């Protein structure tokens, strides 16, 4: 049931990404192009998502724990450090170059388009490279949860 | 390339993204972040692989099912070159790993928690993306 729930939740996310237009790099890049062919649609995506998640989270947290686990798994980091800001800046630069973010690209995999698959391969290479630089890629069986906020 | 302003569809899609974040917290007690989910599949953590693989499979299946039911494939226009996709992809992968999240993890879930880290991350990656697009489209060779 836990895995089935996870799968269904993933489909809701994927359908939301498709309907919202986040799956389309042309639309994403136009959202960033304030001085050119600006398309403000994606502000409505963030608005809609937060409108549900802000009150929704607070309702969920009234429970003692989630349905299929013993406790909520919340990020523990609090510091506004160089990794957070530098990493986010590098992410934004890459997003502005390619037009895909991870949540926008993963639901596009099923189209089997070459450009989508090339981006996904590069995305995974970037993740692995960063994990190596962080010294967090020991042999798989000894893998520990990384300290960074998992989001 | 112009794209149509789609406030209703984008808002509706956003509601579904928010709903998925709320349901993942309710059911599994987890943050709905594409970065963490993909990372946990390509570099598995013992005991945490299964749910992430299931969410990822759902993310991919959702648009396939919707395309099949509606008879309309998603509109995907990629107005950049293959080298740009490779360079951008590597930068996105490195950035979200060091930054600890992306648009879904920080932008939706973290901001919904009013996390200071997520608010700072979101402002940073939005500003960086806007500046990058400005330079590429209106600066050098624009």
Q: What is the ipTM of this complex?
A: 0.97
Separation CA A46–CA A34 (nearest Å): 17
Q: Given an 8 Å threshold on Cβ–Cβ distance, is A95 in contact with B88? A: yes
Q: In whole numbers, what is the pLDDT of chain B averaged over residues?
A: 96
Q: Burial level of A132, CB count in 10 A (0-12/13-18/19+)?
A: exposed
What would the pLDDT profile of B129-138 be if each residue is shown by its tens digit?
999 999 999 9
**Opening angle at CA B97, ends A14 and B118, nearest 5:** 75
Q: What does DSSP assign to residue A21?
A: T
Chain B hits for A106, Cβ within 8 Å: 34, 38, 56, 59-60
pLDDT band at residue A101 using 50, 70 and 90 as cut-offs: very high
Nearest to B102 by CA among A129, A119, A94: A94
Q: Which residue of B has its CA nearest to A53?
A: B18
What's residue B45's pLDDT? 87
Both structure tokens of B66: 């919707």
What's residue A144's pLDDT? 47
Chain A hits for B18, Cβ within 8 Å: 48-53, 56
What would the pLDDT profile of B39-57 be if each residue is shown by its tens digit?
999 999 888 999 999 999 9
pLDDT band at residue B141 using 50, 70 and 90 as cut-offs: low
CA B60 → CA A17, B11, B19, distances in Å?
A: 11, 21, 17
Give the H or E element holding residue A86.
helix A82-98
Nearest to A122 by CA among A86, A97, A147, A88: A97
Q: Which residue of A has its CA nearest to B2?
A: A37
Q: Given an 8 Å threshold on Cβ–Cβ distance, is B31 in contact with A151? A: yes
Residues 56-85 of A with CB under 8 A from B: 56-57, 59-61, 63, 65-69, 71-75, 77-80, 83-85
What's residue B142's pLDDT? 54
Q: Computed from CA positions of residues A9, A102, B77, B22, in that sequence, does the dihedral angle turn out positive or negative? A: positive
What would the pLDDT profile of A119-148 be if each residue is shown by its tens digit?
999 999 999 999 999 885 454 444 444 444
Q: What does DSSP assign to residue A63?
A: S
What would the pLDDT profile of A23-77 be if each residue is shown by its tens digit?
999 999 999 999 999 999 999 999 999 999 999 999 999 999 999 999 999 999 9
What's residue B133's pLDDT? 98
Q: Given an 8 Å threshold on Cβ–Cβ distance, is A48 in contact with B115? A: no
What's residue A136's pLDDT? 58
B73 has a chain A CB within 8 A of its CB? yes
B132 has a chain A CB within 8 A of its CB? yes
Give a three-class secondary structure readout of chain B.
CCCCCCHHHHHHHHHHHHHHHHHHHHHHCCCCCHHHHHHHHHCCCCCCHHHHHHHHHHHHHHHHHHHHHHCCCCCCCCCCCHHHHHHHHHHHHHHHHHHCCCHHHHHHHHHHCCCHHHHHHHHHHHHHHHHHHHHHHHHCCC
Q: Average pLDDT in the A87-100 region?
A: 98
Is the separation of the CB atoms in A113 and B76 below 8 Å? Answer: yes
Separation CA A136–CA B100 (nearest Å): 14
Task: Sketch the domain layout of chain A as residue ranges.
Answer: 1-74, 77-151
Q: Given an 8 Å threshold on Cβ–Cβ distance, is B14 in contact with A46? A: yes
What's residue A142's pLDDT? 43
């Amino acid at each position: 049931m836990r895995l089935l729930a996870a799968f269904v939740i993933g489909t809701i996310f994927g359908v939301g990404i498709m309907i919202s237009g986040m799956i389309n790099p042309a639309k994403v890049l136009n959202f960033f192009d304030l001085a050119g062919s600006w398309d403000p649609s994606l502000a409505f995506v963030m608005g809609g998502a937060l409108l549900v998640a802000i009150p929704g989270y607070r309702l969920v947290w009234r429970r003692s724990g989630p349905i299929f686990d013993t406790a909520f798994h919340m990020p523990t980091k609090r510091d506004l450090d160089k990794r957070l800001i530098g990493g986010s800046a590098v992410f934004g630069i890459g997003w502005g170059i390619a037009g895909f973010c991870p949540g926008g690209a993963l639901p596009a995999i099923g189209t089997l388009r070459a450009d989508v698959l090339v981006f996904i391969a590069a995305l995974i290479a970037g993740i692995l490279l960063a994990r190596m630089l962080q010294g967090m890629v020991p042999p798989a069986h000894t893998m520990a949860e990384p300290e960074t906020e998992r989001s | 390339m112009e794209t149509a302003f789609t406030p209703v569809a984008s808002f509706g899609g956003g509601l579904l993204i928010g709903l998925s974040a709320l349901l993942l917290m309710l059911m599994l007690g987890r943050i709905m972040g594409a970065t963490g989910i993909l990372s946990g599949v390509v570099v598995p953590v013992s005991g945490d692989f299964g749910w992430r693989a299931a969410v990822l499979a759902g993310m991919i299946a959702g648009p396939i099912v919707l395309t099949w039911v509606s008879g309309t494939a998603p509109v995907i226009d990629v107005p950049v070159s293959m080298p740009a996709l490779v360079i951008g992809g590597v930068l996105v992968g490195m950035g979200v790993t060091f930054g600890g999240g992306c648009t879904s993890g920080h932008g939706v879930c973290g901001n919904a928690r009013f996390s200071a880290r997520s608010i700072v991350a979101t402002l940073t990656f939005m500003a960086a993306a806007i500046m990058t697009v400005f330079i590429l489209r209106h600066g050098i060779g624009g």
